[in-house]
Each structure stands twice: as C-alpha cells, then as structure tokens.
C-alpha cells in the first residue's frame, strides 16, 4: 500500500510538469474556443488559413499554423504555443511595457488618419511602412521620430492623427508590430488620385493595396 501511494505521488508530481500551466497558452488539434477563433481570424486574414473561422482546431488550422511557423522561423509542429501566439500577436501572459503601448497607440493614430476606410490589410500596410522606416538608416530610429518627421504624413499635417482610432486600427498596429508586412518592405506609399509630388511617382513600385501604391 505504501509503495502504491509513493507511486501515485510521483505520478501526480510528474503530471504537474507535463500539463501546461495557466498563462502558458496552448492550442492544438482538437482545441475549441475563443483563442482558436482568434488564431484562425489572424491566419485567415494573412492568407494562411483556407478553411472556416469556426473556433475548432482541425487539420486545416494545423496546416495553417505549420505554414505560418515555417515562414516565421518557428518549429512547424502545428501547435499554437506561447512562441507562436506571440508571433501571431495574441496574448501569451507576458506583460508589455508602457513605451510599447505608447508606440501602438501612435501607430494606430497614424493608421486611422492615413488609412481610415481602407481594407484591414491596407491599414496594416501603413503601419508596416512606419516600422520599415524606423529600421532604415535614412529615417529617424523611433516610431515617434518617423511619424512626426516634417511633411512625412498628411495625417499629422491636417490633424487627423488626433482623432481617436477604431479598434481595427489598434489591431492593425499590433499586427504590424508583430511582423506582418503586406507591403513587402515598402518605405513609401502614395495615393495616385491625390499625389502631386513628381518624385514619389519615380519610386520603384512593389505593390498596390486598395487606394495606395507602395514603393521602395
């Protein structure tokens, strides 16, 4: 009897290391619920998921997660663990700094002012251009520096950056911060219907998203 109790204790102790703890998010094949739906929504928007957004972690979701993982330098196991969720831009139990929150707020405001009315991809694209400029040696090395560079963004000039952003603009800012760049590395963009600067028309075009042309 004593041996049995000892064995049972060791078995339960082992389980505490095997079973994911609260806060260590883990969605995998067979999982259901809001987190799965959030994962599917992001992957669907980015073109990874071909199936329905139904909150059920089936084989199509597994395949989509594997594809996303391969493209983001993660182990393609099809499991949405903390590292994968962080790349997708979903909560993993980690806290964010106040400066990070400030950057997201500023990004969301410029997205609102520059791409309000555009598709979600078009909104993420504007935020991605800001971040691409931060990484470029030709521009200021901070989000605030890029956005408030004189003449850089119409939304700053006309004051639209001061309008409270929608939840979509905040989501777009977060997605860009988490690595989604629909532009393919663009550092400039313009609206052909309103652009009057001849120089911007000379830039090599990467792609068009909605009303904006994105270029190098």
Which residue ranges make up each domain of the chain? 24-88, 116-215
Q: Are strands 205-209 and 212-215 parallel, antiparallel or unpaired?
A: antiparallel
Contact present, 129 and 186 (Cβ < 8 Å): yes
The span from the CA of 39 to the CA of 84, in Å, is 10
Euclidean distance between CA atoms 173 and 103, whole angstroms = 9
Mean pLDDT, residues 39-56 = 85
Q: Between these two residues, 92 and 136, which has the higher pLDDT value?
A: 136
**For residue range 154-190, what is the model confidence (pLDDT) as tens digits?**
998 888 988 899 999 999 999 999 899 999 999 999 9
d(CA 27, CA 57): 8
Q: Which CATH fold topology does 24-88 show? A: Muramoyl-pentapeptide Carboxypeptidase; domain 1 (1.10.101)
Q: Can you give the pLDDT at residue 48?
A: 86
Task: State which fold the 116-215 domain adopts.
Answer: Arc Repressor Mutant, subunit A (1.10.10)
Per-residue pLDDT averaged across 89-109, rounded? Answer: 66
Cβ atoms 132, 186 nearer than 8 A? yes
Residue 46, pLDDT > 80, answer no
With a threshold of 0.95, does the pTM exceed it?
no
């Amino acid at each position: 009897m004593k041996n049995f109790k000892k064995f049972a204790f060791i078995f339960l102790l082992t389980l505490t290391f095997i079973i994911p703890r609260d806060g260590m998010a883990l969605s995998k094949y067979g999982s259901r619920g809001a987190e799965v739906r959030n994962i599917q929504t992001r992957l669907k928007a980015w073109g990874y998921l071909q199936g329905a957004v139904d909150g059920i972690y089936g084989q199509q979701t597994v395949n989509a997660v594997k594809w996303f993982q391969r493209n983001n330098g993660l182990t393609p196991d099809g499991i949405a663990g903390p590292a994968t969720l962080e790349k997708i831009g979903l909560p993993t139990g980690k806290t964010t700094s106040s400066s990070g929150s400030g950057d997201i707020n500023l990004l969301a405001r410029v997205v609102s002012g520059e791409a309000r009315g555009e598709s979600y991809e078009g909104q993420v694209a504007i935020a991605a251009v800001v971040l691409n400029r931060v990484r470029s040696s030709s521009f200021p090395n901070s989000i605030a520096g890029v956005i408030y560079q004189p003449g850089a963004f119409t939304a700053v000039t006309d004051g639209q950056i001061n309008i409270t952003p929608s939840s979509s603009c905040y989501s777009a800012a977060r997605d860009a911060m988490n690595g989604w760049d629909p532009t393919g590395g663009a550092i400039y963009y313009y609206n052909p219907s309103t652009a009057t600067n001849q120089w911007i028309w000379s830039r090599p075009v990467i792609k068009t998203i909605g009303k904006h042309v994105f270029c190098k």
